[in-house]
A and B are shown apart, each in its own frame.
Chain A
Amino acid sequence: MNFPCEAVSSGHLVQRHLRAVAALLLPVLLSAAGAAPVEQATLLDQLRTDHAAMVSAEREYRRLRERGALNERETADYAAYVARLHRRVAEDCRSVTAAGLDMPDGVVCPEFAAMPVPADIDLAAERTRDEMTGELDAALLAGLGEFDEMLLREQERVKASAPLTDVTDTGGGIAGGGAAGGDAAGEAVAGAAGATGVGTQAGDAGEGARTSGGGSGSSVGGGATPPGSWNQSGRSPSQPDDIPDGSDDDVVARQLREAAEKETDPELKEKLWEEYRKYKQGTR
């Protein structure tokens, strides 16, 4: 008699426990189930945004290079920015793959199968002063990259909201510096600044700070070897000597390496290799 009674009572106890556990776990499970799609959507959005920014910046970079509109410093700066975007896209790709998501349409990422997983080491405790500085530098660079993107977006907005006037723009760039250049001169018809000996200078000033007379005009497509061709040593002909063979490359490094190898613009190529080196140094 007692047994069934105990059994009943013990069964009730188990049920009560189960209900209590379920009540505790349910919100957690629900929130996890709700959060996961949000996080996944964020990852995909991030990848799409970064990829679009990379494609747009790269296209703009090549256009400006072809026009010879960038001086040496601007070229290096712009190339570094594009290389950073490459790295960011590579990192996004890794995150998306790790989350088990499919790549969005139009975004090309390398294959990620069978990539080595880094050992779980407390890197923070192992860092030297140089490494710490390197990390802070990387944070600074990332901040600069974000700021560049913000300004790029803002400049697009400025361009889009520019009034359609019949005043000749002599300056180019977003500032539209020479919008009233001719008017301002007081003696020439609008836009005639370019006709004088100093017009170019004034016009160039519109491109950005201290760019007068600038423009390195260095050629585009300096690499004679077609992308993807390799010499007998297995090293890409345009690969710098200090670049390792890549056998221990992870996803991001491999994507940066591929981008650098395929790149024909010497300045951008160098910046991509630089980004690769920095990344490798950071993961070491």
Chain B
Amino acid sequence: MGYRFMSTHFRIITGVLLTALLMLSGCSTVGLKQSVDGVVPLDKAVAQVPDDQLLDVWIELFEPGEIPDDPDDALGLSMDIRDAEARYIPQHLRNTLESTGYWGAVRVVPAGTVGGEVLVRGRILESDGLNLSLNIIALDATGRQWFDRSYSSEISYLAYQNSRSTRREAFQPIYNRIANDLAEYRARLEPQENRAIRQTAELRFAADLSPDAFEDYLSGEKRERYTIARLPAEDDPMLRRVQAIRDRDFLLIDTLNGHFDNFYRDMQQPYDDWRRTRSEEAHALEEIRREANTRKLLGFAAIVGAVALEATGNANGYTSAVLRDAMLIGGAYAVKSGFDKASETEIHSEAIKELDDSFSAEARPMVVDVEGETHELTGSAEVQYTKWRALLKRIYSSETGLTGTDD
């Protein structure tokens, strides 16, 4: 008896502990897809990471993904909103990564920017205020893929009330989980691997600017994986020139990030307001649909019951006849009230559409502005880089007497 009592207790304690552990970890992993729920503590560096071990992270502007095919799921969603989110989400991820202390400079960059040490690419799979799903690919300068995972999270509309009072992002657990996964992979790297990543990033940038001088320093399999074949001397004059240009490249990216950050800060309030109000409306819509369906179901059940009562001949007595009629009338009324209730969904659907239209109209010019700034800046930079490439080619030729490869 005592043993059985102990055993039961043990099972209960184990169950409670397991549940607690699951809640603490805040996620369940199924293959490469993670469902992120509950609290996910952000893993932060407990000691300062040595300067030579810091890796810079570049987060590309996300791909906006597609609006769902199902009209109910796509209700009110628009590509204008997605385009805004494709800029907002990487910026918030950047802020999260920066606050961990594990990384050097964390920057958001336009897709295809050359020279990053760790590159994060993202795609929005789903985003409607209550659900967020992202696909994240992380890789380093050597071309090694760290991971390719999808993260999804579903929150209650009440989460926005909390996030408003605490000024916390409602989907923060998803950002924390991505940051933790990146930190976990980074922790596995040996110091020499870290160094190789940094050197490869620098050489890739150098080879892009001056292929004549630097292409031979790297060997790569179809330019997907890069290994260092040899290193230039520290006082190599060509390397110093390229480093001077790279410093400007960092400054350019910093300047771009100034624009991205302004966009993020401009977007923050309207985006939060839209998500909160939309979630409340979506919740109300769902509640009404559920209630309408319940009423219809109960009504149909009552009608079916009345018909069954009649059919079985059990409704001959006065009481039974009253019951049958009551069920019939009550059922019909319930069905009608179910349909009436369902018509209320129109109001909320319209409200959601209006909200989305209004937010789209607010976000669109902001996106156009930041896109314009980005194109203008990267366009001028590209003109300048073309000149520098030509100059470096002539300098290399003048210094070595070699003519180099033709462009």
Residues of A within 8 A of B (CB): 77, 129, 132-133, 136-137, 139-140, 143-144, 146-148, 150-151, 154-155, 158-159, 161-163, 165, 167, 171, 173-187, 189-190, 193, 196-202, 205-206, 208-214
* In the complex, chain B residues 265-286 whose Cβ is within 8 Å of any chain A Cβ: 265-266, 268
| Residues B105 and A173 in contact, CB atoms below 8 Å apart | no
Across the interface, which residues of B come within 8 angstroms of A197, CB to CB? 45-48, 101
Across the interface, which residues of A come within 8 angstroms of B45, CB to CB? 197-198, 201
A172 vs B373: C-alpha distance in the bound complex, in angstroms? 21
Residue B34 CB within 8 A of the other chain:
no
Across the interface, which residues of A come within 8 angstroms of B56, CB to CB? 209-210
| Residues B248 and A179 in contact, CB atoms below 8 Å apart | no
Residue B95 CB within 8 A of the other chain:
yes
A208 vs B250: C-alpha distance in the bound complex, in angstroms? 7
8 residue pairs from A and B, CB less than 8 Å apart: A143-B387, A174-B258, A177-B257, A180-B264, A185-B44, A193-B98, A209-B251, A210-B51
Among the interface residues A132, A147, A151, which one has the most CB atoms of the partner chain B within 10 A? A147
Across the interface, which residues of A come within 8 angstroms of B262, CB to CB? 158, 161-163, 176
Q: Select B176's contact among A175, A186, A213, beta carbons within 8 Å.
A: A186
Closest chain A CB from B39 CB (angstroms): 8
20 more CB-based (< 8 A) A-B contacts, given A143-B388, A193-B99: A77-B247, A136-B391, A148-B251, A154-B255, A158-B255, A165-B268, A184-B172, A186-B172, A186-B173, A186-B175, A198-B48, A198-B101, A201-B101, A202-B99, A202-B101, A209-B56, A210-B105, A212-B51, A212-B104, A213-B48
Across the interface, which residues of B come within 8 angstroms of A148, CB to CB? 248, 251
| Residues B42 and A185 in contact, CB atoms below 8 Å apart | yes
| Residues B99 and A184 in contact, CB atoms below 8 Å apart | yes
Name which residue of chain B comes closest to A177, CB basis.
Answer: B98
Across the interface, which residues of B come within 8 angstroms of A213, CB to CB? 48, 51
A174 vs B373: C-alpha distance in the bound complex, in angstroms? 15
A137 vs B168: C-alpha distance in the bound complex, in angstroms? 50
Closest chain B CB from A127 CB (angstroms): 10
Given contacts A147-B384, A186-B168, A202-B101, contact A174 B254 (CB under 8 A): yes
| Residues A184 and B395 in contact, CB atoms below 8 Å apart | no
Among the interface residues B95, B100, B173, B395, which one has the most CB atoms of the partner chain A within 10 A? B95
Given contacts A174-B255, A184-B169, contact A150 B265 (CB under 8 A): no
Closest chain B CB from A142 CB (angstroms): 10
| Residues B259 and A209 in contact, CB atoms below 8 Å apart | no
| Residues A167 and B252 in contact, CB atoms below 8 Å apart | no
Residues of B within 8 A of A (CB): 40-42, 44-49, 51, 54, 56, 92, 94-96, 98-101, 103-107, 167-169, 172-173, 175-176, 241, 244-245, 247-248, 250-255, 257-259, 261-262, 264-266, 268, 377, 380-381, 384, 387-388, 391-392, 394-395, 398-399, 401
Across the interface, which residues of A come within 8 angstroms of B169, CB to CB? 180, 183-184, 186
- Please provide the 10 A-B residue pairs with the shortest distance between their CB atoms, ordered closest to farther: A198-B101, A209-B250, A158-B258, A184-B95, A184-B96, A186-B172, A174-B258, A175-B257, A209-B105, A180-B95
| Residues B95 and A187 in contact, CB atoms below 8 Å apart | no
Across the interface, which residues of A come within 8 angstroms of B40, CB to CB? 186
| Residues B105 and A190 in contact, CB atoms below 8 Å apart | no
| Residues A205 and B98 in contact, CB atoms below 8 Å apart | yes
Q: What's the count of A-B pairs with C-beta under 8 Å?
A: 195
| Residues B104 and A158 in contact, CB atoms below 8 Å apart | no
Name which residue of chain B comes closest to A196, CB basis.
Answer: B44
Majority DSSP secondary structure for residues of B touching A: helix
Q: Select B98's contact among A147, A150, A163, A181, beta carbons within 8 Å.
A: A181
Q: Select A140's contact among B99, B261, B391, beta carbons within 8 Å.
A: B391
Name which residue of chain B comes closest to A74, CB basis.
Answer: B247
A178 vs B323: C-alpha distance in the bound complex, in angstroms? 70
A139 vs B241: C-alpha distance in the bound complex, in angstroms? 12
Name which residue of chain A comes closest to B243, CB basis.
Answer: A73
Across the interface, which residues of B come within 8 angstroms of A136, CB to CB? 391, 394-395, 398
Name which residue of chain A comes closest to B176, CB basis.
Answer: A186
Across the interface, which residues of B come within 8 angstroms of A210, CB to CB? 51, 54, 56, 104-105, 250
A184 vs B251: C-alpha distance in the bound complex, in angstroms? 24
A205 vs B392: C-alpha distance in the bound complex, in angstroms? 30
Closest chain A CB from B317 CB (angstroms): 67
Closest chain A CB from B13 CB (angstroms): 29
| Residues A206 and B98 in contact, CB atoms below 8 Å apart | yes
| Residues A144 and B244 in contact, CB atoms below 8 Å apart | yes
Across the interface, which residues of B come within 8 angstroms of A165, CB to CB? 265, 268
A143 vs B394: C-alpha distance in the bound complex, in angstroms? 15
Closest chain B CB from A201 CB (angstroms): 5
Across the interface, which residues of B come within 8 angstroms of A187, CB to CB? 41-42
Closest chain B CB from A136 CB (angstroms): 5
Across the interface, which residues of B come within 8 angstroms of A171, CB to CB? 98
| Residues B254 and A173 in contact, CB atoms below 8 Å apart | yes
Closest chain B CB from A139 CB (angstroms): 6
Q: Select B265's contact among A139, A147, A167, A206, beta carbons within 8 Å.
A: A167
| Residues B49 and A176 in contact, CB atoms below 8 Å apart | no
Across the interface, which residues of B come within 8 angstroms of A193, CB to CB? 98-99
Across the interface, which residues of A come within 8 angstroms of B96, CB to CB? 184-186
Closest chain A CB from B318 CB (angstroms): 68
A201 vs B104: C-alpha distance in the bound complex, in angstroms? 8
A190 vs B44: C-alpha distance in the bound complex, in angstroms? 16
A205 vs B58: C-alpha distance in the bound complex, in angstroms? 13
